[in-house]
Amino acid sequence: MRHLKKKRVSVSIVLIGIAVILLLILAPYYRFATDVLKISPINSLFGYGDLKMIGGRVNILVLGIAGGNHDGPTLSDSITVMNYDTKANAVRSIGVPRDVWSGTLRDKINSAYAYGEAKVEGGGLRLSKAEVGSIIGSPIQYALVIDFHEFINLIDLMGGVEVQIERSFIDNEFPIEGKEADECGGDIEFKCRYKTVSFKKGSGHMDGETALSFVRSRNAEGDEGSDFSRSKRQQLVIGAIKEKVAKIVLTFNLGKIESLYGSVNKLVKRDISNQQLTYLVRNMIFHRNFKQGTTALPQQLFAVPDYNDYEGKYVLVPEDASFSALHSYVKQYLGE
């Protein structure tokens, strides 16, 4: 009997020791979650809280702005809608051309964020969600905007990203920051304002500066100089960043994770909370067969009207004079 009691005491000591070790290991992560991320680990395990969804789906608008000292720093260089289906555990992204004309704004869709922010802080996200939602024919619950000028630091912090370049291209007129108003010694072509950037098809490792050139290039010859191709390149880099972030998180190196979060939080403005994002991440992890898909609104669904009818601007309008074909394309792609 005495031997049995000693055995129980020994087991208890071992269990307490394991509990203490786990507490010491997990306590820093718990503090990071509650103090820095402002999330409740317990609530994150159950339900969806106040997450806005329609039919188990949530749309998140991702905008990329030039930032820095570029002309039009708050104009959206890239516009992407991320649709997450919680039931199918699938994320499907849709690239929206920045030159689509908005009858409400009387300007291109890429100006929505700039107009909204000029009126009130946070107004850019609200106005952009409404305008882009009307184009794809689906309400957008959340939005975030990425400052491309700042994301150089994020990519460098992560040690660069691997991007699968789909087509080779050369851009001989890539603008040099800070030389936008340089008179170039009287050169009427202002060649000193530009540099040449080039990319070859295949997998390529990019640092922040290279990735920025890849996503912002707009003067390449052929199809890669189009808004549609630029939108696709931006999606490729965003996808590469997501993969690198996931790898860093899975290292469980708290120092790296905290540094990464600080950098991401600096360059991204958003109206979706960390707690709401946690519900989505939890669903992706705990449900099987996570799927991803990427598309862009097809060029053939748009037409280029006479410049004189649109204040002398190059714009895109629906080929069928309404957005019905675009809405049908989006619904079919999302499987609605």
Note the pLDDT tens digit of each residue in 34-61: 777 788 878 887 888 899 999 999 999 9
Question: DSSP state, 35?
Answer: I
CA 123 to CA 139: how far, in whole Å?
17
Q: Which of 17-21, 23-27, 86-90, 163-167 has the lowest mean pLDDT?
A: 17-21
Q: What is the DSSP string of 78-111?
A: EEEEEEEETTTTEEEEEE--TTBEETTTTEEGGG
**Across residues 85-111, what is the average pLDDT?**
93
Q: Is the pLDDT of residue 102 over 90?
A: yes
pLDDT tens across 274-307, in order? Answer: 999 989 888 887 887 888 888 889 889 999 999 8
263: left (phi over 0), alpha (psi -120 to 50) or beta: alpha
Residue length of the chain? 336
Q: What average pLDDT does range 69-73 have in this prediction?
A: 67
- Which pLDDT band holds residue 326 (cuts at 50, 70, 90)? very high
For residue 254, give both structure tokens. Answer: 């708290």
Which residue ranges make up each domain of the chain?
Answer: 1-36, 37-334
Q: Is the pLDDT of residue 2 over 60?
A: no
Question: 126-176, pLDDT tens digit by residue?
Answer: 999 999 999 999 999 999 998 877 778 888 888 899 999 999 999 998 888
Banded model confidence at residue 29, pLDDT cuts 50, 70, 90:
low
Question: pLDDT over 70 for what percent of the chain?
Answer: 89
Give the best-scoring range by mean pLDDT among 77-86, 223-232, 250-259: 77-86
Cα distance between residue 51 and residue 281, in whole Å:
12
pLDDT tens readout for residues 208-231: 999 988 988 888 888 888 877 887
Q: What is the average pLDDT value for the chain, to the nearest integer?
A: 84
Superfamily of domain 37-334 in the CATH hierarchy: LCP protein (3.40.630.190)
The answer on pLDDT for 27 being more than 70 is no
What's the rounded mean pLDDT across residues 201-213? 91
Confidence of residue 199 (pLDDT cuts 50, 70, 90): very high
* CA end-to-end span of the chain: 67
Q: What pLDDT sits at residue 15? A: 47
For residue 317, the model assigns a pLDDT of 93
Q: What Å distances lie between residue 47 and 22, 204, 282, CA to CA?
A: 26, 40, 10
In this prediction the pTM is 0.80
Residue 325 pLDDT greater than 70, yes or no: yes
Pairing of strands 302-303, 202-206: unpaired
> Mean pLDDT across the stretch 11-15?
47
Tokens of 105: 């704004």
Output the pLDDT for position 217: 87
Distance from C-alpha of 4 to C-alpha of 250, rounded to nearest angstrom: 43
Side chain identity at residue 336, one-letter code: E
